[in-house]
Homo-oligomer: A and B are copies of this chain.
Amino acid sequence: MSEVELLIRALSLRDELPKAEEQLLRDLPMRVRSFSRGDTLIASGARSTESCLMLSGFSCRELYVEDGKRQIAGVHIGGDFVDLHALLLKIMDHAVVALSDCRAAFVPHAALVGVTQKAPHLTRLLWMSTVIDAAIQRAWITSMGRRSAVQRAGHLICELYTRMDAVGLASRHTLVVPFTQRDLADMLGLSDVHVNRTLRDLRARSLIRWEQQSIIVPDFQALADMAEFDPTYLNLVRVPR
């Protein structure tokens, strides 16, 4: 079982992945490292020569504004090529930080450039993964601009549930997530106090339960309806790309 199984699974969900391309992924040179919650995987402003693939655990994209307020612009789980865009951007506009203990693989840009030169279809699939990321960001923008706090929180939980379920990381109505309410607040653009009340509200409506580090979603459809969640943007359909 190779380190890139989850990535292969994530790509296979969206298009047929020929064995040869699978092999290219397995053969990518990579340096695997472990991190603890709070560690910085990639610093803001870094000029990377490697891109970072999540193997297990959680990380997030983190930006700070001047008075120390934090905004999280995306959450990443195993199989996400979090930092693929560094291949093109050269200088990071944000940091990637561990939200839980996690493992990540760092792949040299030279190897990825190699993929773009000899494997156009695989290149398109990697490109696709960055573009799905952007679609998720648009959903966040929509939530932050035009949805209430309860809907926003519900929408985020639906997103995480759907994404984790797709790669086999959710089990029967339950998500194991390491987030504190402060983390959630920084994802949703709310204060931690207000997140607490928002979760209480969701609990009171029996849309979620929150035990230890687990979010339990007894009735996904009910939550999705409340939050106006439509999973189309996650592109979980297998079509030629």
A residues with a Cβ closer than 8 A to B are 45, 61, 63, 65-66, 69-71, 73-74, 85, 87-91, 93-94, 113, 116-117, 120, 123-124, 127-128, 130-135, 137-142, 144-147, 186, 188-189, 228, 232-233, 235, 237, 239, 241
When C-beta atoms are compared, the residue in chain B nearest to A233 turns out to be B93
Across the interface, which residues of B come within 8 angstroms of A117, CB to CB?
120
Residue in chain B with minimal CB distance to A151: B65
Is the CB–CB distance between B88 and A124 below 8 Å? yes
| Besides the known contacts A71-B145, A85-B135, A130-B130, 9 further A-B residue pairs in the complex with CB atoms under 8 A apart | A45-B232, A71-B141, A71-B146, A73-B141, A73-B142, A93-B135, A113-B120, A130-B134, A145-B189
Residues of B close to A141: CB separation below 8 A: 71, 73, 137, 140-141, 144, 189
The dominant DSSP class at the A interface is helix
28 contacts between A and B (CB under 8 A): A65-B142, A71-B141, A87-B241, A88-B124, A88-B127, A89-B128, A89-B131, A90-B237, A91-B232, A91-B235, A93-B138, A93-B232, A93-B233, A94-B138, A113-B120, A116-B120, A117-B120, A120-B120, A123-B123, A127-B130, A133-B134, A134-B137, A137-B138, A140-B141, A144-B144, A145-B186, A145-B188, A145-B189
Point out the residues of chain B lying under 8 angstroms from A132, CB to CB. 89
Q: From A114, which residue of chain B is reached at the shortest CB distance?
A: B120
Question: Considering the chains assembled together, what is the distance between the CA atoms of A137 and B74 in angstroms?
Answer: 11
**In the complex, A66 Cα to B94 Cα: how many Å?**
32
| A135 engages B89 (CB within 8 Å) | yes
Q: Which residue in B94, B138, B186, B228 is a CB contact (below 8 Å) of A61?
A: B138
Alpha-carbon distance between A128 and B186 when the two chains are bound, in angstroms = 27
- Chain B residue at minimum C-beta to C-beta distance from A145: B189
Known: A127-B127, A141-B140. A69 touches B134 (CB 8 A): no
- Given the interface pairs A88-B241, A90-B241, A123-B123, the reply to whether A73 lies near B131 with Cβ below 8 Å is no
